Amino acid sequence: MYRLTRVRWRPFRENFIRIFIRLFRVDMQEAQEPNPGTYETFNAFFTRALRSDARPIADEPDALVCPADGALSQLGAIEDGRIFQAKGMDYSLLDLLDGNADWAKRFIDGNFATIYLSPRDYHRVHMPTAGKLREMIHVPGRLFSVNRVTTALVPRLFARNERVLCLFEGEAGPMAVILVGAIFVGSMDTVWAGQVTPTRGHSPRQRYADADSVGLAKGEEMGRFNMGSTVILLFPAETVEWEPSLLVGEALRMGQRLGRARAGASTG
């Protein structure tokens, strides 16, 4: 799939793109480049930029914004060091963070949100709040599908799949933005390190050596999936309040308000 999505032969890639647009009803009027024929590869189309006005960023000083287009898979509190996955199933915060006890303890009794990106969605990931990168860890793993069916069937799914842990310090406190791989998604990028995951096979765990140089504003692009997958957000206890109207399964758009930083924390 990695090779297919990077084929440059015009008849193949143009047909591939046009069939995908029809099949998933992709709105190309939102794209910075709306003409499907101008993309050099399917992957260039899949990770396309949007018009600057297509996704307004909630601008209230305390707003916590959605990092990606997608559907709200789950949202709530981290209880007893565990994160809810689906009815009857949860997984360990420590496992999700690859055994990093120092970071895990920062999110004990905190809050999480899980956002599923379908194939039709915009596939760039943006900052929910301003933050400075402290650590990036690539965790090799499985590539189970992450749709609603598999999240209800596969135990500890998000703690087993390949993932990139992006760990930040911000004005609202510590924050994790976790890019979770899935079937066909063996390639994830960040804006500071480029492609993080290997083209084939598995690489050892990696930590980004120059994290202190990376500071990103709320709403700024931080990474992308080279096929669809899931983003998990983690926040410490008593730092955020979710919008009470949010419902599991609800369609989300990047930049909309997910919640707010509580008194004493500002998202910048």
Find out whether 166 and 221 touch, Cβ atoms under 8 Å.
Answer: no
DSSP state of 111: E
Give the residue from 74, 215, 253, 75 showing the smallest Cα distance to 132.
Answer: 215
Tokens coding 31: 């794209």
Amino acid 127 reads M
Active site residues: 69, 126, 229
3-class state of residue 57 by DSSP: coil
Coil, strand or helix at 48: coil
Vertex 204 angle, CA 199 and 208, to 5°: 90
Backbone angles phi, psi at 82, to 5 degrees: -130, 150
Radius of gyration of the chain (CA): 18
Give burial (CB, 10 Å; 0-12/13-18/19+) of 52.
Answer: exposed
The residue count of the chain comes to: 268
Q: Are 136 and 196 in contact (CB under 8 A)?
A: yes
Amino acid at 262: R
Q: Residue 90 belongs to what H/E stretch? A: strand 89-92
Residue 23 DSSP symbol: H
